[in-house]
């Protein structure tokens, strides 16, 4: 046992459950973990045994609590003093949140994760920048989210200061348990309409024949009662009737769990239960899909997905209309039977219009997603995969990446990927060649270690002349301020240049045919 590690996690229950892989990594490294959370999720964290010990923030840490400043400061001093007496060896800060960052710094022990807030004001120096996985987490949520292909749990695992290992394996069991349908979700943009849920439940009962259990919070109790009443025999409403331990028992006994992007989806995945996640509006499955090999995600195929601001500017929310309840019920029945991949899609009576089906895959380079319903492999999707590989190498110095052609097939549909040969009015091969040139120029800029107005001018020129470079520049310049480590950047950039050229060749030959070079042939990182 190496000692005690304090983990500060101030997010909601769903994010707390997605912290479990990091907690497991710390435990395997010999640490006794102490988790500090919001008071509202402390009891749930204890019930789920997320850490060796769970504590809640005292009232001084809650700005909603009315308290004189003098008393707030006095309580804060006492809390910090009590933590110092426990002789923690390290603290991991999971959130870009000032209170947790300040507490970690005041403890005077090694900090990983968020050590500071991002502040790109002039003359802020390194003190206003973020680096490593915390920097990427902020960048992926502030500007490059639609191109992100790295799961939140993998980002958080990187906070421990080592390369994340493979995600959990898939469920090895087939269960005759009920289909659990989760009614809730913190955003109305992430839920189906009541009539659609009722239709789905009826189709599940017809196709599967087993029981359907409805779960959700107290706010979903009336909806659950309506569906139970109208759904007929074999439908049981437990919405608002279980605590966390009871919900865990219900999900653990299910044959499959169907849920939007909310805490029960992540809890079911952590228990090894097969899941079908429903992702609409701003819920991005690459980022917060069920963190387990074999998990299935049904995703909107609309061009505007994922939308910003939880669909606040959307007048119709039509992304939730696809797929239809009957097609989704067929998919759920197949997942419950243990079908996977192309076998799962082949048994559907018809395609799922307006939606795509994705399946999670565990790999040494984190959780991957592969589409199992055919779709066109556009330049943006190729770029997203190239960047995922770049970020993984740069941040983890990882070598265990799949062959590039295999990843492109994952993005476009196994055995059926069609690469778009055009990038606007520019051939795709030319567009990728421009990416190579831009990356090369940026590496030379970083190696030159220029500073000041001359450097700013060159970066602006790069962004203007090579617009496909903006996701890289967003992270490396806006978040890291051009001050990140140069050696891993050069190594990762060299591979990005080589793989952009390979992707250009694959655009002619097609993914899955040739060019399956092993990474070690190119460069050892």
What are φ and ψ of residue 178, in 5° steps?
A: -70, 165
Instruction: Find out whether 436 and 508 touch, Cβ atoms under 8 Å.
Output: no
**Looking at residue 202, what is its pLDDT?**
96
Rounded to whole angstroms, the Cα distance separating 48 from 245 reads 7
Q: Average pLDDT for residues 510-516, to the nearest whole number?
A: 45
Least confident of 105-109, 354-358, 509-513: 509-513
Query: Strand, coil or helix: what is 196?
Result: helix
pLDDT tens readout for residues 85-101: 999 999 999 999 888 99
Rounded to whole angstroms, the Cα distance separating 323 from 349 reads 13
Ranges of H-type helices in 184-312: 194-208, 221-231, 244-252, 263-270, 285-288
Most confident of 55-69, 187-201, 324-338: 324-338
**Looking at residue 70, what is its pLDDT?**
83
For residues 403-440, one letter each, b for 16 or more C-beta atoms within 10 angstroms of the residue's C-beta and e for the rest, the string is ebbebbbbbbbbeebebeeebeeeebbebbebbbebbe
Q: What is the mean pLDDT of the chain?
A: 86
Rounded to whole angstroms, the Cα distance separating 124 from 129 reads 8
Rounded to whole angstroms, the Cα distance separating 486 from 480 reads 12
**Looking at residue 278, what is its pLDDT?**
92
**Cα–Cα–Cα angle for 173, 178, 180, nearest 5°?**
100
Greater model confidence, 160 or 188: 160
Which domains occur in the chain, in start order?
Answer: 3-117 (3.40.50.2000), 179-363 (3.40.50.2000), 379-522 (no CATH)
Query: Strand, coil or helix: what is 103?
Result: helix
pLDDT tens readout for residues 142-184: 878 889 999 999 999 999 876 666 777 765 556 789 999 999 7
Residue 192 Rama label (left phi>0; alpha psi -120 to 50; beta): beta
**Looking at residue 317, what is its pLDDT?**
67
Ranges of H-type helices in 209-355: 221-231, 244-252, 263-270, 285-288, 325-336, 341-346
pLDDT(61) > 80: no
Least confident of 37-46, 301-310, 412-421: 412-421
Q: Average pLDDT for residues 278-292, to the nearest whole number?
A: 90
Ranges of H-type helices in 35-131: 39-47, 69-84, 98-107
Could you tell me the pLDDT band of residue 377, with boundaries at 50, 70 and 90?
confident
pLDDT tens readout for residues 268-284: 999 999 999 999 877 89
**Looking at residue 204, what is its pLDDT?**
95
311 DSSP assignment: G
pLDDT(525) > 60: no
Instruction: Find out whether 440 and 497 touch, Cβ atoms under 8 Å.
Output: yes
Least confident of 97-106, 109-118, 335-344, 406-415: 406-415
Could you tell me the pLDDT band of residue 297, with boundaries at 50, 70 and 90?
very high
What are φ and ψ of residue 214, in 5° steps?
A: -100, 130
Rounded to whole angstroms, the Cα distance separating 192 from 202 reads 15
**Looking at residue 175, what is its pLDDT?**
72
Q: Average pLDDT for residues 412-420, to the nearest whole number?
A: 53
**Looking at residue 31, what is its pLDDT?**
93
Query: Strand, coil or helix: what is 273?
Result: coil
Strands 90-93, 422-423: parallel, antiparallel or unpaired by DSSP? unpaired
Rounded to whole angstroms, the Cα distance separating 106 from 84 reads 9
**Looking at residue 66, what is its pLDDT?**
79
pLDDT tens readout for residues 228-245: 999 989 999 999 999 999
Least confident of 2-6, 190-194, 235-239, 364-368: 190-194
**Looking at residue 193, what is its pLDDT?**
82
The residue with tokens 């964290």 is 45
**Looking at residue 146, what is its pLDDT?**
87
Least confident of 59-73, 362-376, 439-453, 502-516: 502-516
**Looking at residue 312, what is its pLDDT?**
58
pLDDT(422) > 60: no
pLDDT tens readout for residues 4-44: 999 999 888 999 999 999 999 999 889 999 999 988 899 99
């Amino acid at each position: 046992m190496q000692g005690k590690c304090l983990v500060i996690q101030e997010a909601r229950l769903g994010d707390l459950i997605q912290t479990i892989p990091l907690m497991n990594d710390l435990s395997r490294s010999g640490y006794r973990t102490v988790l500090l959370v919001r008071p509202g999720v402390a009891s749930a964290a204890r019930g789920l045994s997320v850490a060796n010990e769970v504590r809640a923030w005292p009232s001084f840490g809650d700005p909603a609590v009315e308290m004189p400043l003098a008393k707030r400061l006095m309580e804060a001093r006492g809390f910090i003093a009590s933590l110092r007496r426990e002789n923690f060896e390290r603290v991991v800060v999971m959130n870009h949140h000032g209170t947790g960052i300040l507490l970690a710094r005041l403890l005077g022990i090694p900090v990983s994760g968020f050590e500071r807030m991002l502040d790109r004001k002039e003359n802020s120096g390194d003190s206003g920048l973020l680096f490593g996985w915390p920097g990427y987490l902020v960048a992926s949520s502030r500007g490059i989210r639609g191109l992100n292909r790295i799961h939140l749990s993998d980002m958080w695992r990187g906070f421990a200061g080592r390369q994340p290992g493979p995600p959990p394996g898939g469920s090895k069991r087939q269960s005759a348990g009920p289909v659990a349908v989760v009614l809730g979700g913190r955003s109305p943009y992430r839920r189906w309409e009541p009539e659609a849920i009722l239709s789905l439940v009826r189709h599940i009962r017809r196709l599967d024949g087993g029981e359907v259990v409805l779960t959700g919070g107290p706010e979903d109790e009336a909806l659950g009662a309506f569906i139970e009443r109208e759904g007929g025999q074999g439908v049981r409403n437990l919405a608002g009737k279980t605590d966390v331990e009871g919900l865990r028992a219900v999900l653990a006994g299910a044959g499959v769990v169907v849920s939007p992007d909310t805490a029960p989806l992540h809890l079911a995945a952590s228990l090894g239960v097969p899941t079908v996640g429903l992702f609409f509006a701003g819920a991005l499955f690459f980022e917060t899909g069920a963190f387990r090999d074999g998990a299935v995600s049904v995703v909107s195929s609309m061009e505007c997905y994922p939308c910003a601001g939880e669909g606040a500017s959307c007048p119709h929310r039509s992304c939730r209309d696809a797929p239809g309840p009957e097609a989704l019920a067929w998919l759920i029945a197949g997942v419950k039977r243990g079908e996977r991949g192309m076998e799962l899609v082949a048994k559907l009576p018809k395609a799922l219009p307006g939606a795509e089906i994705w399946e999670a895959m565990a790999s040494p380079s984190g959780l991957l997603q592969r589409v199992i319903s055919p779709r066109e492999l556009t330049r943006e999707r190729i770029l997203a995969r190239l960047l995922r590989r770049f970020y993984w190498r740069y941040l983890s110095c990882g070598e265990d990446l799949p062959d590039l052609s295999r990843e492109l097939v994952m993005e476009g549909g196994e055995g059926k990927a069609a690469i778009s040969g055009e990038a606007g009015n520019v051939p795709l091969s030319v567009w990728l060649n421009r990416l190579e040139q831009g990356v090369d120029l940026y590496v030379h800029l970083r190696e030159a270690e220029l500073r000041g107005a001359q450097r700013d001018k060159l970066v602006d020129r790069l962004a203007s002349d090579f617009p496909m470079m903006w996701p890289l520049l967003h992270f490396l310049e806006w978040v890291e301020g051009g001050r990140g480590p140069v050696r891993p950047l050069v190594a990762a950039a060299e591979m990005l240049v080589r793989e952009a050229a390979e992707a250009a060749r694959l655009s002619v030959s097609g993914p899955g045919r040739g060019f399956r070079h092993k990474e070690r042939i190119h460069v050892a990182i």
